[in-house]
Amino acid sequence: MLARKICPREEETLSRVSTYLNFMGDTEESFNFYREVFAAEFVYPIQRFVDVPTTPGMPPLSDEERAKVQHVEMMILAGCLIMGTDMIETMGHHCALATTRRSTSSPTAVRRPTGSTAPCRKGAARRPE
């Protein structure tokens, strides 16, 4: 039997996938459904269009449009972040089904608990003692 080398403070780099979803007015309803299904919470409170300062050239929004979701994020499962927004037609937003997808991934350093008995891998990063 081969002896395993122990790494008490090994770090790994894991990937995180981020996906942005565009909705035609039902972002909040959809994310409340995701919150229930994934037993997850919003990363930050829902940001609405009313919360964002207007900029020159921005079309006036109705009260209904101003109450829509400008941005929301939720971490689901391990390393998957979903974000969403409501598309506002008066702002020039148009949603075409299944034609645009955008995902990003970024490495995230994860520290294993002290005293981990996981084997060291060649090239694994270690924290100094």
pTM score:
0.63
| Per-residue pLDDT at 77 | 82
CATH number at residue 47: 3.30.720.100
- Residue 35 inside a domain? The answer is yes
- Residue 4 inside a domain? The answer is no
Q: For the chain, first and last CA: distance in Å? A: 29
- Residue 3 inside a domain? The answer is no
* Beta bridge partners of residue 82, listed in sequence order: 19, 74
| Per-residue pLDDT at 112 | 41
- Residue 1 inside a domain? The answer is no
> Domain range holding 109?
10-52+59-126
| Per-residue pLDDT at 30 | 95
- Identify which of 18, 16, 26 has the alpha carbon closest to the alpha carbon of residue 87: 26
Q: What is the pLDDT along the chain (129 residues), one digit of tens a residue?
A: 445 444 444 555 567 788 999 999 999 999 999 999 999 999 999 999 999 888 888 888 999 999 999 999 999 987 799 999 999 988 888 777 654 555 555 555 444 444 444 443 444 443 344
| Per-residue pLDDT at 107 | 54
As for how many domains the chain has, the answer is 1
